Structure 1
Amino acid sequence: MGLLNYLGIQKSGPFDVDGEKARTWLTEPTNPNGRPNSTSLKPYWNGDDITGRPRDYWLVDLPQGLAEGDASLFVSLFEHVSVSVDEDGKTVKELREDLGERAGPRWWEPHWPRPEMRKRIASVERYIITAETSQHRLFVWLSLPVLPDKNLIVVPRSDDTTFGILHSKIHEVWSLRKGSDLQDRPRYTHTSTLATFPFPEGYTPNIPAADYSTDSRAVKIAAAASRLNELRENWLNPADLVTRVPEVVAGYPDRILPKDEAAAKELKKRTLTNLYNTRPAWLDHAHKALDEAVAEAYGWGNDWRDGKLTEDEILYRLFKLNQERAKIEAKAKTKAKIKPKTKSKKTK
């Protein structure tokens, strides 16, 4: 069974705004419907926010299912969606008219708002994302109210063990083979990568994380993954370079701002892409600890330490495991379809 995953929201129109404008709207008086703009403005991430520095962009995200009259009661937000144009000079409404029958009835909503994805990430305290296309296969954590863009793959799991397995060399090798390429950047094809990746036995996606939370191998993976994430965050936003400022209204993550101009200049260079391009010793050690822990979970720990797990060997073993599980699932489905015959009652 593959890991449940989703694409992020597809806007298909100018629904996003910069942080300065968003904060102006957040501090406006309550709308005629008695609701503040904070109910319909969300921080919004795409692949650039993962590989570079967060851009501080927000999404106009009116409640789904509203009639046009009700949507217009969010005055500033609805006006923005009504009059803003894309790079070709077209409004959202004009863009939807171009789509014809595929447009949907409510042009003031993102074209694909992904209600199922939203439901899933609302059920966990944080969720995993990775950019569909990037130079390095990077996984990071997000949590609501931050929403993901369509070029992000969303995994609604909150446990460090799953995060660690996905960020291991073993999964990276599989993703590079099962994915595709866009120019010089690997493309993570979620339907053929996550859907087919064979997790270690006992940690497969159909098993709740709570069921293996005390398993020694899972604990080791979780500890290594958590440490990797902690070290990266400390490097990206060191305490002596940044200050954390509460957002203008409650309910949003703190803003991370440079302490001064010198800090701002240094922080521009601190991106995950730059970090993985240079791959300093501390990062390499953190990944090696994670890779060893994941190999142990597969029962391959000794081979990993002995250097026997080349990329070809990893692919061979994963493919074999994939095929074995596919056969088991096929047999289970066939068995479920075959119902036992019931004896007919004899008539007197």
Structure 2
Amino acid sequence: MNVAISDCSVLGVLSSRIHVPWSTTTGSTLENRPRYIKSACFETFPFPDATPAQQARIRELAEQIDAHRKRQQAQHPDLTLTGMYNVLEKLRSGETLNAKDKTIHEQGLVSVLRELHDALDAAVFDAYGWNDLAVALVGRPAVPPKRRAASCAGCARTTRTPALAPRRSSSKRNSRKRPQPPKPPPPP
């Protein structure tokens, strides 16, 4: 899906691990694969009411992640985002990297990408006021290998984000100032 918004803080929130359980819960599936549905996953997503300083930090990290990926892909034309993120998840879960994964790790500087994403996740958790979850989840695998008990931090994250939506009145949700494309000038 493409999102035509010039504010990289939005990219940062959407790139954080908080958006994943929201999109898999509110989206749909095709066979056994999740599908991102804009009207369900993006338009209803409860973005944090971040302070200007928090927005600036999220924006800065999102821009660093984007620049890092573009730079590494420009230097290594066969390097893909899918390959980089598959290696990132293997690193987080402690899996052994095979020769192909090690090449991707070196070319994509995946450890740098991991550090940037961990910092982004911490900044987004902070914007939601969920520093307790940041301590438990930042740097961990995005999807635990086995379902944990309902009291686990991952489950709390999964339930906290959707719980924000009903608390927001429809008027607040509709009045949220998201960056809009510039309107064309009126005809002469």
Tell me the residue number matched to 1:272. Answer: 81
**Counterparts of 2:4 and 2:152 in 1: how far apart (Å)?**
30
Tell me how far 1:196 sits from its aligned partner: 1.7
- State the distance in 1 between where 2:128 and 2:152 align: 12
| 1:187 maps to which of 8, 26, 35 | 35
The structure with the greater share of residues assigned to helix is 2
CA offsets, 1:261-300, max 9 Å, x none? xxxxx623x1111111112322221111111111111111
Change (3 A) 1:198 1:236: same
CA contact (8 A) 2:133 2:157 kept: no
Matching residue of 2:145: none
**Aligned match of 2:19 in 153, 157, 171?**
171
* Correspondence for 1:290 among 84, 99, 120: 120
- Cα gap change, 1:231/1:330 in structure 2, threshold over 3 Å: closer, same or farther? closer
The code of the aligned residue for 1:293 comes to A
Q: 2:57 aligns with which of 196, 213, 220?
A: 220
Distance in 2 of aligned mates of 1:286 and 1:314: 20
Give the alignment of 1:24-39 within 5 angstroms.
none
Residue pair 1:173, 1:311 contacting (<8 A) in 2 also? no
Question: Identity over aligned residues, as a percent?
Answer: 32
* Cα distance change, pair 235–306 in 1 and its aligned pair in 2 (3 A): same
1:310 to 136, 141, 153: 153
Q: What is the Cα deviation at residue 184 of structure 1?
A: 4.6
Larger radius of gyration: 1
TM-score by length of 1: 0.37
State the SS of the aligned residue for 1:223: helix
- Does the 8 Å contact 1:295/1:304 carry over to 2? yes
Deviations 1:76-120 (A, max 9, x none): xxxxxxxxxxxxxxxxxxxxxxxxxxxxxxxxxxxxxxxxxxxxx
State how far apart, in whole Å, the 2-side matches of 1:217 and 1:267 are: 34
**How far apart are 1:312 and its partner, in Å?**
1.7
TM-score, structure 2 as length reference: 0.66
Q: How far apart, CA to CA, are the structure 2 residues paired with 1:288 and 1:216?
A: 18
CA distance in 1 between counterparts of 2:134 and 2:63 reads 21
SS at match of 1:169: coil
- Aligned pair in 2 of structure 1 residues 331, 186: CA closer, same or farther (>3 Å)? closer
1:329 is aligned to 170
Q: Distance in 2 between matches of 1:320 and 1:157?
A: 25
- The code of the aligned residue for 2:164 comes to L
Classify the secondary structure of the residue corresponding to 2:5.
coil
Structure with the greater relative contact order (CA < 8 A, sep ≥ 6): 1 or 2?
2
Q: Give the AA of the match of 2:126.
A: E
Structure 1 residue runs without a partner (length 5+): 1-129, 131-153, 203-211, 239-265, 334-348
Q: Identify the residue that residue 156 of structure 1 maps to in structure 2.
A: 4
CA distance in 2, matches of 1:194, 1:183: 22
1:18-57 map, 5 Å: none
- Check the 8 A contact 1:293/1:301 in 2, yes or no: no
Deviation (angstroms), 1:331: 10
Amino acid of the residue matched to residue 68 of structure 2?
A: L
Superposed displacement of residue 303, structure 1? 3.2
Shift of 1:157: 1.1
CA deviations 1:114-141 (Å, max 9, x no partner) are xxxxxxxxxxxxxxxx3xxxxxxxxxxx
- Between the aligned partners of 1:309 and 1:222, the Cα distance in structure 2 is 29
SS at match of 1:288: helix
For structure 2, the 5+ residue unaligned runs are 89-109, 138-150, 175-188
2:129 is matched with which residue? 299
Query: Structure 1 228/332 Cα, relative in aligned 2: closer, same or farther at 3 Å?
Result: closer
Alpha carbon RMSD of aligned pairs, Å?
2.5
